[in-house]
A and B are shown apart, each in its own frame.
Chain A
């Protein structure tokens, strides 16, 4: 493995001499410096910060992903087409060393660039806060809700299996569902409806949740109630309601009335009172005071959470950047492997397809979750077969993309949600590393079998 270092150093130099890579670097610098000026925000400092972190840094990450594809594919395929690799391969260097040397160089470069982008964004955020002329209270709010890292605790999940079965049986028995419809699909739909129902409050009624904490609450400790309405499900502009937080014994220790738009994440800071101190189980309820309006829906995934202070913003941002680096490292592995097998244009195309699939994995997930299409009476066997085949392809793509599906690190950082070191380590060890090893293994195997300089 002694040859990895010279290959690594040479690849780094090579990338920094490439015109395409340098053009991408220039574009990245432009995006980083000019894009924030063109972003439209909701007028609040919180919105501006969120835009900077999610979109400015997010777009830089996307450019870096495009750069990763190019430089990783060119690292091997470019050297092969220029025949420089012929010279190298006649030396005592294994193709495994070449693969890892090239991959490490690409990952080092894009990770450093990503950290620089993160640093520039952080400095810009600090400048914004100090230039906006915010009051000390507003600043404190920004630092406690966004430029921080908070550990979220989600409510206990109810098991709707039995109830969903009962409801499904009722629906089938009443003839509301066609008999040809698979029962599993009906049960699944019932479960979804029950879950949505548990996160909804009808006019004049309440929705409630229970939280199980790992550590007992301490008096004086500040926690946050974070919630987000499913604005798309409602036709109201303002929602009046009252939040009640307490323990199993005293359910209304903390009470707060709200009257607000259904858009964006809301946060209510709560100072733990002596009555709640020592509690490990909390109860939360929301009463919908809009007696004339319809039901209020909360998002079922992260619609209602309690946050605990868990550290600073910089380290959280750093961990988010590490997660993104991990994703870029997987992309680099795909690029280097593709470049070892295919010509440069084909390798770039293959890698770009993977990137696009990853970017649109949400759509693929929705298609798979919706289940396969049921056969219509007038539908031909061929058409039905094609539909089934397409569905299986989507399923396969989703399985392949699973390791790349990480909850948006920048989204979490922009909301001040903690990315814990343990979570980071787990993702790297259990998802990223095995995937990179798998891709490298396949790439090196095919690269080793490839003949170099085959021409008549």
Chain B
């Protein structure tokens, strides 16, 4: 790609020091990252591997001790950069005495959004994350999942070009998790860049094109997810509607040809798909549950021109659970 990378780090270093300025821990040790426009990038690693530290450096909260960092072509602390970045931290650190609308109003005001445009955007985001009915209920009384949803809404309030999501699905039920993944995909379709950090590997696998796995502050593996997950010398054959007789004949033929008898297993849905089907059915039959409501349309300001894209339409349908 000839375009300037959205996120670029080279040999990024971050050392935490003690009170006497002596090195205490090397949290990030020579990380190279390059994220391009419209890409969903996964940052994986166990606790203490340097994911959050890397993210905080990219957000300008921490200063790097070495290497180069550029976000949207500029140093991360540049105010112009911050105008184009959305961030959801690993915990939703919200002001507990504000309600959902007031929370979004506050963050919108920091981006200079005012008046009817701001209110319209807030309405859409609240509808999108299923919190439009919470009224004057304070954020401090929200469940963890609801707090994540409002956290996600605030991360998107400025229609950012780069969205950094730290454990976005933590605390969310499977419906919410599915919705977050759909939103991430929709953002990528619109040309937004998403950096996703998560412990839930299935979530990352579903939405990310490329990943980097960190351990001890160093890159352990990096590349397109399909290539990294490919297992050499293992093949999978998928066949629909075989009766018992056909199965036996197939196994006999393969045994004769290969010299070993393969095993046959029926194809299975993944648990998430099954769960979503069951809940969708239950909703159709009994109406709403408590807490969050059925999520609405993806916010229109996040769709814009890409709305004609067929795949985006599918995503849009997916959010109407």
**A87 close to chain B: CB less than 8 A:** yes
Chain A neighbourhood of B56, CB < 8 A: 452-453
Interface residues of B (CB under 8 A from A): 16, 24-25, 27, 48, 52, 56, 59-63, 79-80, 82-83, 85, 87, 89, 91, 93-95, 97-98, 106-107, 109-112, 154, 158
Residue A86 is within 8 A (CB to CB) of chain B in the complex = yes
Binding site for B on A (CB under 8 A): 2-3, 5-6, 10, 13-14, 17, 82-84, 86-94, 451-456
B residues less than 8 Å from A89 (CB atoms): 59-61
Residues of chain A lying within 8 A (CB to CB) of residue B107? 87, 91
* A93 surroundings in chain B (CB, below 8 A): 79, 82, 110
Contacts of B85 in A (CB 8 A): 90
Name 23 A/B residue pairs within 8 A (Cβ), A-sorted.
A2-B112, A3-B109, A6-B106, A10-B95, A10-B98, A83-B89, A84-B94, A86-B61, A86-B89, A86-B93, A87-B93, A90-B61, A90-B85, A91-B111, A92-B79, A92-B80, A92-B82, A92-B112, A94-B79, A451-B63, A453-B52, A456-B27, A456-B48
Closest to B61 in A: A452
Bound form: Cα–Cα A453–B52 in Å: 9
Nearest-CB residue, chain A, relative to B105: A6
Query: Which residues of A are found within 8 Å of B98, using beta-carbon distances?
Result: 10, 13
> What's the least CB distance linking B217 to chain A, in Å?
10
Q: Which residues of A contact B83 (CB under 8 A)?
A: 92
Of A5, A10, A456, the most chain B CB neighbours within 10 A belong to: A456
**A84 proximity list for chain B (CB < 8 A):** 93-95
In the complex, A2→B108 CA distance in Å? Answer: 12
Other A-B pairs, 13, CB within 8 Å; known A2-B112, A90-B82: A3-B109, A10-B95, A10-B98, A83-B93, A84-B95, A86-B61, A87-B94, A87-B107, A92-B79, A92-B82, A93-B79, A93-B82, A456-B25
Contact A87 B62, CB 8 Å, known A14-B97, A92-B82, A454-B16: no
Answer whether A13 and B87 are a contact pair too, CB < 8 Å, given A90-B82, A91-B107, A452-B61.
Answer: no
Distance in angstroms between the alpha carbons of A453 and B59 in the assembled complex:
11
Residue from A10, A82, A91, A453 within 8 A of B82 (CB atoms): A91
Closest to A17 in B: B97
Q: State the Cβ distance, A357 to closest chain B Cβ, in Å.
A: 26
Majority secondary structure, A binding face:
loop
Q: B106 to chain A: which residues have CB within 8 Å? A: 6, 10
Contact B111 A92 (CB under 8 A): yes
Chain A residue, CB-CB nearest to B79: A92
C-alpha gap A294/B158 in the complex (Å):
82
CA distance A455 to B52 in the complex (A): 9
- Cβ contacts under 8 Å, B109 to chain A: 3, 5-6
B96 to chain A, nearest CB (A): 8
B52, B60, B110: the one contacting A88 at CB < 8 Å is B110
Residue from A13, A92, A93, A451 having most chain B Cβ neighbours under 10 A: A92
Q: When the two chains form their complex, are residues A92 and B62 in contact, meaning their CB atoms are under 8 A apart?
A: no
Instruction: State which of B25, B87, B158 has its C-beta within 8 Å of the C-beta of A87.
Output: B87
Most A CB contacts (10 A, CB to CB) among B59, B79, B95 go to B95
Query: CB-CB < 8 A to A6: which residues of B?
Result: 106, 109-110
User: What distance in Å separates the Cβ of B64 from its nearest Cβ neighbour in chain A?
Assistant: 11
Instruction: Decide if B91 touches A83 in the complex (CB within 8 Å).
Output: yes
A454 to B56, CA, bound (A): 9
Residues of B within 8 A of A453 (CB): 52, 56, 61-62
Q: For B111, list chain A residues within 8 Å (CB).
A: 91-92
User: Quick check: B82 and A87 within 8 Å, CB to CB?
Assistant: no
